[in-house]
Structure 1
Amino acid sequence: MYQLEYFPIRGLGEVIRFLLEDNNIPYENKFVQKDEWSQAKKHGVESGQIPFGQLPVLKDGNLNLAQGGAIIRYLARKHALYGENMEEQAIADMLYEAARDLRYEYFRYIFQDNWEDQKEAFLLKAKVSLACFEKHFQRKRTKYVASENICFADYNLFDVLDHLHRLEKSLFVEFPHLNQFYETMKNRPRLAAYLASDRHFAQPVFIPLGWTARG
């Protein structure tokens, strides 16, 4: 069974949980608390259990795998969620990276001291990226980002869209294809069950130095 080691937050871990939950892949969470992290990090780096002193880390037997992108791609390869050919895989990689960029723009926004005053400016910037995703779905005319079958990149895009939807529910009105994708993902039976459960981390979004629940 996989073990996902991370903080008790949404952050960079929830997208991995989305993939695991939606595909009924057994795993367990190992949560690292604030007062444990300094010692856990030191020991983890020395032992190789936390290879780069960062979480999340996926443990699979003797493998300790860090970096969220590496983790989700590893799971995608193992569980046939990476696309059926090189073109689909390339598209999946492209959409994963584009969604990751948007996620970090969101993180930068919510950790500004005056983040509430910057909402409209952030939404205008986000719409530029969302318009590109909208055009992608218009061109592809597929249910998911790379094909009619779900892949790892779909979970990453869904996670980012869910952050934005929580911030501004009307944001997707001008992006009907993107909104349809969001609704399709949200209503996948296993994913919907997880989202409705008390195991799902809607908040806090992230823990920088201050362990804030903002977002």
Structure 2
Amino acid sequence: MPDYALIYFPVRGRAEAIRLLLADQGIDWEEDEVQIADWVSGKDGRKKDAVFGQLPGFRDGDFVLYQSNSILRYLGNKHGLDGSDAHERAVVDMVNSGVEDLRQKYGRFLYFEYETGKDKYLETLPAQLDLFERILSKNANGSAFIVGNKISYADYNLLDTLHCHIDLSPTCLSNYPLLSAYVERLVSRPKLAKYLNSDVCKRRPITPKHK
């Protein structure tokens, strides 16, 4: 059995960036799947163990960690995916926090404004995408990763967040040549491409709302 286990619902959600990292790095993990109804009702006894009452959780042997960004940082540090020096690590962390800001805005829209606020959300999205296009442009003229010359945990988080928006609006990156090329570069990485094209990945909805 793999040493790693991801504790989450049968959706992409907050766990997908973690899956992208593991798959791309060729790291085996077990899916410790939690049914949403059992979690909400309290029938699933693991809820009491979640430090903040939330998933995902991540097991590395006997060590268990919660909160998606903490898990990403932990794996980034453990597998050399967090920058090459102190300055680069700080920038990776900064960019990942910026991705989190966008993800939270997307989440609020998805759960509370999806039926009435889609047009408004898409009108404001370019202001967010502009930020990441600009960050890319300052790193090897946009031909590399979001920070530095090797992939980091922030790349996996950004890729998943961009995928969520492409699902929402397939043309949302049309005016962003650097971001568009960035997505294509990442999804063409052999191990990542294999995971993204797998049945197990394709059958997971982004959230329960996407079923």
TM (normalized to structure 1)?
Answer: 0.89
**How much is the aligned-residue C-alpha RMSD, in angstroms?**
1.7
Can you give the 5+ residue segments of structure 1 that lack an aligned partner in the other structure?
none
Offset of residue 36 of structure 1: 2.7
Q: How does 1:80-159 map to 2 (within 5 A)?
A: 80-112=80-112, 115-141=114-140, 142-159=143-160
Letter in 1 for 2:135: H
CA contact (8 A) 2:47 2:54 kept: no
1:30 correspondence with 2:29: no
How many angstroms apart in 1 are the aligned matches of 2:107 and 2:205? 12
Q: 1:117 to 1:202 in 2, by over 3 A?
A: farther
Partner residue of 1:191?
192
1:18-40 CA deviation, whole Å, 9 max, x = no partner? 00000001111010113432132
Are 1:40 and 2:40 matched, yes or no?
Answer: no
Distance (whole Å) between structure 1 residues aligned to residue 188 and residue 116 of structure 2: 33
Q: Deviations over 1:4-55 (max 9, x none)?
A: 01000111011100000000011110101134321325x542xx4x222211
Q: Is the 8 A contact 1:6 1:31 kept in 2?
A: yes
C-alpha contact 1:73 1:82 (8 A) present in aligned 2: yes
Please identify, of 1-10 and 197-206, the stretch whose mean Cα deviation from structure 2 is larger. 197-206
1:135 is paired with a residue of what secondary structure? helix
SS for the counterpart of 1:162 is helix
Q: 1:112 offset after TM fit, Å?
A: 2.9
With over 3 angstroms needed to count, the CA separation of the structure-2 counterparts of 1:149 and 1:165, relative to structure 1, is same
Q: Deviations over 1:99-144 (max 9, x none)?
A: 111111111112235x244222111211101001111111222510
Q: In structure 1, what is the Cα distance between the partners aligned to 2:120 and 2:20?
A: 29
What secondary structure is seen at the aligned counterpart in 1 of 2:151? coil
Residues 12-21 or 162-171, more deviating: 162-171
Runs of 4+ in 1 over 6 A off after TM superposition: none
Task: Specify the SS of the correspondent of 2:199.
Answer: coil
Which amino acid letter does the alignment assign opposite residue 145 of structure 1?
I
Gaps of 5+ in 2: none
Counterpart-to-counterpart distance in 2, 1:90 and 1:202 = 35
The TM-score with structure 2 as length reference comes to: 0.90
What amino acid sits opposite 2:101 in the alignment?
D
Contact 2:136–2:179, Cα closer than 8 Å, also in 1: yes
Residue 201 of structure 1: CA displacement?
5.2
For the residues of structure 1 that align with 2:183 and 2:128, how far apart are their CA atoms? 15
Pairwise mapping of residues 35-74 of structure 1 onto structure 2 (< 5 A)?
Answer: 35-37=37-39, 38-41=42-45, 43-45=46-48, 48=49, 50-74=50-74
Identity %: 35
> For the residues of structure 1 that align with 2:203 and 2:108, how far apart are their CA atoms?
18
